[in-house]
Amino acid sequence: MMNSAWRLTTHENGIADLVLDLPGEKVNKLSTAVMEELRELMGQLGGMAEQIDVLLVSSGKTGNFIAGADITEIRSITTSAEAEAKAELGQELLNHWVELPFLTVCLIDGAALGGGLEFALACDYRVVTDSPKTKLGFPEVNLGIIPGFGGTQRLPHLVGKIDALDLILSGKQISGKQAYRIGLADAHLPQAFADEKTREFCLGLLTPEGSAAAHTHRKKARRKSLLLECTPVGRIIIYKLTEVELRKKTGGHYPAPFAALRVIRKTHRMGMRAGLKVERHEFGRLAPKQISKNLVELFFTGEALKHHPIMQGEGAPGAIERAAVLGAGVMGGRIAWLFSNKQIPVALRDISWEAVQQGCRAAHSVYKEVAKRKSLSASEISNAMQLITGTTEAGALGWPDIVIEAVVEDLETKKKVLSETEQLVEPDTILATNTSSLSVAAMSAALSRPEQFVGLHFFNPPNRMPLVELVRGPDTSDDTLRTVALLARKLGKTPILVKDCPGFLVNRVLMPYLTESVALLEEGADLRHLDQVFKQYGMPMGPIRLLDEIGIDVGSKVAGILATAYGERMQISPFFEGVTQHRDMLGKKTKAGFYLYDKKKPRPNPAMQELLPHTETPAAKFDDEQLKLRPLLLMVNEAARCIEEEVVESPAFLDMALIMGTGFPAFRGGLLKWADTYGIEQVYTTLGAYAEKYGPRFAPTPLIEELARKESGFYGL
């Protein structure tokens, strides 16, 4: 068959090989065409019982088994009936696969995700390798849908409900070792000997001893969950606790994990075909919804960022084998952790040993957090921490390939530190600044090699926040930009290229949201209610809590820089500036800010309430819509200016930056996607009304006016 994705080879020993190698693609996907081809092949396989004892399925792609269904097909779904039909096609195909007249084994060396893992579950046995690229999981909930090819039915039967719910509802990916531990895999083999050992495993299945050993492993893996699952009361406890945890994590904004839980619970006593019908009905209900459409578009935006032109270029980029961080505060220590976590030695420098120790403690505290989730041993943490060396000497950085400056947010201080460092490092060393708002161009003017200087803005806390803003200076070379972009990827971050302007992108768009929220407090709004409105909207925390997390002094300083740069629309109130004089009320770090943090649950700070201007306006005048729209629409207005000024390449990239840098709710698709959904004409009209009532800071930008006139949207640009 021309351009065949599947390749079948039989052998005299009764083991046949079926290799999936999708032509012209980097990864295997279960597209409709690939599944139809498999359906035809299965007609042939059904008559080969005398030739085949075991069919071994593997991939022709390095580091990939099957990445899942073709997401472009999910993107195109418009109706529930269409979605159900696609799910039924996959379900029926795998039902026929299960009925093949010989044993089926799949070798998973690389990613087996979504539909790829569902295909693996339909095999009789699964063998995984110890390659770091071997990952198994169901990412469907991250796309606003649920597994639709039988995953909700086959996985609980294989590994038990506790592990199945954990895997399906979280969207997480587990290693081959973890898959073997929970009974999802029947063998865990060294990658170097995977082919040979898998064939031994297949031959072993033809003996009573080999078959019994595989089933004994499954029983052992499931033993821990059977006590709870075997009784109705135990199952109720599992479901109830899972639902409580889901509500805590999602705020109820993401329907897909709740749908998956509902399917697994409802189909407990159903046969396979009845259960599959429930599964595909829920899949069909979710796939056409706006939440799924938003999450799918974000997936494609993420793919576009992974393959951005800044990552491409001729020749190998410079290798970053050693690093240094200047400024050993909490931020500097956590940036150092990023390097040590990827096995890159890093020097952490500050002017005092006390500061160096603080940075090392910050890195160690991250390892302790990770240990709770990934079972790191004390010796593993100790070995990783040994990659971080502290120093107070400017000349003791250890020949780094990159130096990241993370000192105090003051332009002259940064210029001085960078200039001095440039004289001490090798001529090809890259210098980067972690500034959140200051001019990269101004700093580069102090350097003799500005082509090797770049802005690399990590978001706090850098061990958790996935975004880094990549800021090109006026002389930054393409090689420097590419090397740093690829480094960011290696550190587990998503770099987004932004223009060198005050506040860059995220802080510039975020600051009007924060300052307008403070303005609402000054007008009499209740801070707890204001925060709750934004929690209900989907923000990880309200704007006032966020200010406390950032630090009121830090927020005020950045706001002042932006006010100087952008004039009246960014002006902050005397109250906001004045709060910073109260050094014991700077936010969570001083245990007091707008809230008090001396107890487990933060509560409003009476001392801060006393500082707020007293108005005669009752708080009741603010309805929830106004509390939400005033800060949000100022964000939209500033984001529109960023698009006009080409601070970022596209509305989609801007939305992704805000999701990864501020926690803007992904289910809404991003700020500008929300504005499009809300209606650009409505955005324009409301901004105009607010401008008349509250001042020119709300005056709609020319771009918003133009889009409203054309009845278009940001995503139509």
Q: What share of the chain is helix, strand, coil (3-state, %, to 5)?
A: 55, 10, 30
Strand order in the sheet with 111-113: 64-66, 111-113, 135-137, 173-175
d(CA 431, CA 580) in angstroms, rounded, equals 32
d(CA 346, CA 389) in angstroms, rounded, equals 6
Strand order in the sheet with 103-108: 6-9, 15-20, 54-59, 103-108, 125-129, 187-189
What radius of gyration do the chain's Cα atoms show? 28
Helix (H, G, I), strand (E, B) or coil at 509: helix
DSSP state, residue 396: -
The torsion defined by the Cα of 609, 610, 613 and 618, in degrees rounded to 10, comes to: 60
d(CA 480, CA 432) in angstroms, rounded, equals 10
d(CA 58, CA 39) in angstroms, rounded, equals 17
d(CA 689, CA 504) in angstroms, rounded, equals 29
Per the listing, tokens 């039967």 go with 157
Task: Determine contact, residues 122/146, Cβ cutoff 8 Å.
Answer: no
Q: What's the sign of the alpha-carbon dihedral 482, 478, 456, 401?
A: positive
Distance of CA 33 to the CA centre of its chain: 30
Helix (H, G, I), strand (E, B) or coil at 457: strand
* CA distances (Å), origin 543, targets 513, 524, 592, 632: 8, 16, 16, 11
d(CA 617, CA 524) in angstroms, rounded, equals 6
Instruction: Kindly state the tokens that stand for 457.
Output: 């803005």
Task: Determine contact, residues 138/156, Cβ cutoff 8 Å.
Answer: no
Looking at the DSSP bridge assignments, the partners of residue 470 are 456, 497
d(CA 293, CA 296) in angstroms, rounded, equals 5
* CA distances (Å), origin 216, targets 61, 105, 203, 407: 32, 17, 17, 57
Task: Single out the catalytic residue among 11, 457, 582, 614.
Answer: 457
Instruction: Kindly state the tokens that stand for 48.
Output: 């080969």
- Among 76, 2, 1, 78, smallest CA distance to 32 is for 76
* Identity at 133, one-letter amino acid code: K
Buried b (16+ CB within 10 A) or exposed e, 468-478: bbbbbbeebbe
- Among 165, 158, 156, smallest CA distance to 217 is for 158
* Most distant CA pair in the chain, distance: 91
| Active-site annotation holds for 457 | yes
Catalogue the active-site residues.
Answer: 457
